[in-house]
Amino acid sequence: MQLHRDDVVDGALTILDQYGLADLTMRRLAGSLNVQPGALYWHFPNKQALLGAVADRILAPMEHPVAASDWPGAMTELAHRLRNCLLAYRDGAELVSATYASRLTTSKGRERIAGAAIRAGMPREQAELAAYTLLYYVLGHTVDEQSRMQMDSAGALPTPSSPEPAEDPDPTARFDFGLQLFTAGIRHRLGAEIR
């Protein structure tokens, strides 16, 4: 059987889901595909390039059409879609965050968010900054969310011992609150520039 690039990415996603990012090694991947590690380098020059392709696969739904017609709805929809893409795979947020930081993944999702900001009336330079801000909000929130889920499943989260108010247990509600602040900030900025 001939090994294809998509087979390698599929195998990497399987290992990511089963074992996590720390255990996604070229040796383990080659073993799971029943090939020598060198066969992987025919498709990817190094592990970082492979991780970039895995991140692109995770983010593929970001290319689907957006249902919302207004800019706040489009930004909110894209932010939720990004979060869902990241949560779909164990350590998905950590992997995508690392590949964004090293510029190894495509920026189509960020570009779509910037497009929504441009439709809101922001100049391109500000729209790009707004898109980065929202992207890193989603990545940071989701890395924390996935880490907490994994610690909880391992029984490693401490039990609150103080009478302080408990954190809202609904991560989607916390996420939505941040999105509301974000879009309100854009509305405010746009209003201030019109005056």
* SS percent in the chain: helix, strand, coil, step 5: 70, 0, 30
- Measured in degrees and rounded to the nearest 5, phi and psi for residue 104 equal -100, -5
Q: What is the pLDDT of residues 101-142, one digit of tens each?
A: 888 777 788 999 999 999 889 999 999 999 999 999 999 999
| Domain spanning 59-157+166-194, CATH architecture | Orthogonal Bundle (1.10)
Q: Which of 92, 87, 90 is nearest to 17 (CA)?
A: 90
Which token pair is 173?
């509600």
pLDDT bucket at 149, cuts 50 / 70 / 90: confident
State the DSSP code for 41. Answer: T
What is residue 154's predicted lDDT score, i.e. its pLDDT?
67
Q: What would the mean pLDDT of 63-70 be, rounded to a whole number? A: 93
Predicted confidence (pLDDT) at residue 1 exceeds the cutoff of 90: no
Q: What is d(CA 81, CA 33) in angstroms, rounded to the nearest whole number?
A: 30
State the DSSP code for 65. Answer: P
Higher-confidence residue of 156 and 44: namely 44
Q: What is the pLDDT of residues 26-60, one digit of tens each?
A: 999 999 999 999 999 999 999 999 999 999 999 99
What is residue 23's predicted lDDT score, i.e. its pLDDT?
94
What is residue 195's predicted lDDT score, i.e. its pLDDT?
34
Predicted confidence (pLDDT) at residue 162 exceeds the cutoff of 80: no
What is residue 155's predicted lDDT score, i.e. its pLDDT?
72
DSSP per-residue letters across 69-103: -SHHHHHHHHHHHHHHHHHTSTTHHHHHHHHHHTT
Predicted confidence (pLDDT) at residue 194 exceeds the cutoff of 50: no
Q: What would the mean pLDDT of 7-26 be, rounded to a whole number? A: 95
What is residue 158's predicted lDDT score, i.e. its pLDDT?
67
Mean of per-residue pLDDT scores for the chain: 89
| 131 contacts 111 by C-beta, under 8 angstroms | yes
Q: What is d(CA 78, CA 145) in angstroms, rounded to the nearest whole number?
A: 18
Q: To 10 degrees, the CA torsion angle through 83, 23, 42, 108?
A: 10
Predicted confidence (pLDDT) at residue 164 exceeds the cutoff of 60: no
Domain ranges of the chain: 1-45, 59-157+166-194
| Domain spanning 1-45, CATH architecture | Orthogonal Bundle (1.10)
